[in-house]
């Protein structure tokens, strides 16, 4: 059975050029006081268009949403499978 969920960017809702986004960059594991494996798994991944993913880069979610506050609502609606640890880091 195929997944019927439409893949869209968790930030801007684009359907074009989707990539896998680490919501909390793996490189920031020490900064957030979590084990690397907490960030290097599917509960920290979401679909993002290439433009948003490359613009966000290794920026923290808080930094990204500070620049693009309009994306936070979309993100909360779309990113359903984040772990509690990731949600805590993001502040949702």
Whole-model pTM?
0.86
Let me know if residue 4 belongs to a domain. no
- Cα separation, 72 vs 75, in Å, equals 5
Mean pLDDT for each consecutive 10-residue tract of the chain (92 residues)? 70 96 94 92 94 96 94 89 89 84
Q: Is residue 13 part of a domain?
A: no
Bridge partners (DSSP) listed for residue 19: 48
**pLDDT at residue number 19:** 97
Burial zone of 60 (CB within 10 Å; 0-12 exposed, 13-18 middle, 19+ buried) = middle
What phi and psi values does residue 22 have, to the nearest 5 degrees?
A: -85, 110
Is the separation of the CB atoms in 43 and 26 below 8 Å? no
In a domain, 11, yes or no: no
Residue 61 lies in a domain: yes
Q: What is the pLDDT of residue 75?
A: 93
Task: Tell whether 2 is covered by a domain.
Answer: no
The number of distinct structural domains making up the chain is 1
Instruction: Give residue 1's pLDDT.
Output: 40
Residue 56 lies in a domain: yes
Measured at the CA of 43, the angle between CA 40 and CA 45, to 5 degrees, comes to 70
Domain residue limits at 25: 18-90
Residue 12 lies in a domain: no
Structural tokens at position 14: 């684009």
pLDDT of residue 4: 53
Tell me whether residue 82 is in a domain. yes
């Amino acid at each position: 059975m195929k997944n019927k969920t439409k893949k869209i960017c968790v930030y801007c809702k684009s359907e074009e050029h989707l990539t896998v986004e680490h919501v909390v960059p793996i490189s920031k594991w020490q900064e957030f006081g979590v084990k690397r494996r907490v960030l290097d798994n599917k509960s920290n991944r979401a679909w993002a268009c290439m433009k948003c993913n490359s613009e966000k880069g290794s920026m923290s979610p808080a930094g990204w949403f500070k620049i693009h506050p309009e994306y936070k609502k979309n993100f909360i609606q779309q990113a359903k499978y984040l772990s509690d640890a990731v949600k805590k880091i993001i502040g949702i």
